[in-house]
Amino acid sequence: MGGTPPGWDFFVSYTSVDRGWAEWIAWQLEDAGYRVLIQAWDFVPGANWAIRMQQGVVYATRTIALLSSAYLTSVYGQSEWQSAQAADPLGFAR
């Protein structure tokens, strides 16, 4: 990446079981003119997955977590929502 940090309006956090819903939500948001980071579309093979997730949490204005049974038992899902919550513990800014 160049000198400009990435930026998105939304980071969509989900587990693989919920990919269809995640893509539908991202599509709706992009259709409305928002910039969206979603793993299915934006994470290229060979990229550092953990860094991309961190960038999503740090550089997206809002994080959308698709809550499902699979997400709530996912180690990676838990890490993502906890990072988003830590960035705004009261939930007012994000």
Class of 8-87 per CATH? Answer: alpha beta
At 36 the pLDDT is: 95
For 11: left if phi > 0, alpha if psi spans -120 to 50, otherwise beta; the answer is: beta
Write down the pLDDT at residue 31.
Answer: 98
The residues, ordered by sequence, that sit 6+ positions from 65 with a Cβ below 8 Å of its Cβ are 13, 14, 71, 77, 80, 81, 84
pLDDT score at 24: 98
Q: Which pLDDT does position 23 carry in this prediction?
A: 97
Alpha helices (runs of H) in 1-94, residue ranges in sequence order: 19-31, 39-42, 49-59, 69-72, 75-87
> In the prediction, which pLDDT does 10 show?
94
End-to-end CA distance of the chain: 25
Q: What is the pLDDT along the chain (94 residues), one digit of tens a residue?
A: 455 567 899 999 999 999 999 999 999 999 999 999 998 888 877 877 778 777 887 888 888 989 888 988 887 776 776 666 666 666 666 5
Helices 49-59 and 75-87, packing angle to 10 deg = 30
Task: Give residue limits of the domains in the chain.
Answer: 8-87
